[in-house]
Amino acid sequence: MTSLENMQAFVEFAKDKFGHIDVIVNNTGLMPLSKLEVLKIDEWNRMINVNIRGVLHGIAVALPTFKQQHSGQFVNLFLIGGHAVYPTATVYCATKYAVWAISEGLRQESTAIRVTTISPGTALPNLNCSAQSPMLKRRSGSQIPRTSYPGGRDRPGDLVCDQAVRRCGC
């Protein structure tokens, strides 16, 4: 997602194969956890590059096609960090709030293009594995609320995909 050229190649491949593009799903996320005072600036930059720039690249490569078609839909996922801030996840939460703000701005600017946001909570159990500190890896599960899934299902990714498909009218 951080390579604009790769994203462009993906969109061109889809257009060549299917003749058009109906939906782009932007689902990016790195979540290294640390207090701001630790100053892990490289981690911050990586999170910003993936979590924000990845979504912007997805929009940049599909928006011209959607405008030309007079239709299209972006589905942007952002986890609980777009709604609340948690200790050691400050920068992550800022990036997820940015995804919400970008989505809302795009929705307001584009009348013929649909913009859907899905916020499944902390749906991906391995997301916290990018924490660098062993102590934070152990504690992250207790600091950031977990989402419970209907029927005790342990496949949150399936639920997110189901929700995206429903919202796209597929």
pLDDT(154) > 80:
no
What integer is the mean pLDDT of 48-55?
A: 95
Residue 81's pLDDT band (boundaries 50, 70, 90)? confident
Average pLDDT value over all residues in the chain:
80
86 is catalytic: no
Which pLDDT score, from 0 to 100, does residue 71 have?
95
Choose, from 86, 92, 97, 149, the residue flagged as catalytic: 92
Which pLDDT score, from 0 to 100, does residue 105 have?
97
Which pLDDT score, from 0 to 100, does residue 82 have?
75
> 32 with 43: CB under 8 angstroms?
yes
- Convert the pLDDT of each residue in 27-36 to its tens digit: 888 888 899 9
pTM: 0.76
CATH 3.30.300.30 fits 4-168, yes or no: no
Q: Whose structure tokens read 């913009």?
A: 115
pLDDT(69) > 50:
yes
pLDDT, greater one: 124 or 109? 109
pLDDT(106) > 60:
yes
The 3-class SS string of the chain reads CCCHHHHHHHHHHHHHHHCCCCEEEECCCCCCCCCHHHCCHHHHHHHHHHHHHHHHHHHHHHHHHHHHHCCCEEEEECCHHHCCCCCCCHHHHHHHHHHHHHHHHHHHHCCCCEEEEECCCCCCCCHHHHCCCHHHHHHHHHHCCCCCCHHHCCCHHHHHHHHHHHHHCC
* Poorest-pLDDT segment among 21-25, 39-43, 152-156, 160-164: 152-156
The closest of 125, 130, 147 to 92, measured between CA atoms, is 130
Which pLDDT score, from 0 to 100, does residue 40 have?
96
Domain ranges for the chain, please list them: 4-168
Give the span between the Cα atoms of 92 and 77, in whole angstroms: 14
Which pLDDT score, from 0 to 100, does residue 74 have?
97
Give the span between the Cα atoms of 63 and 112, in whole angstroms: 11
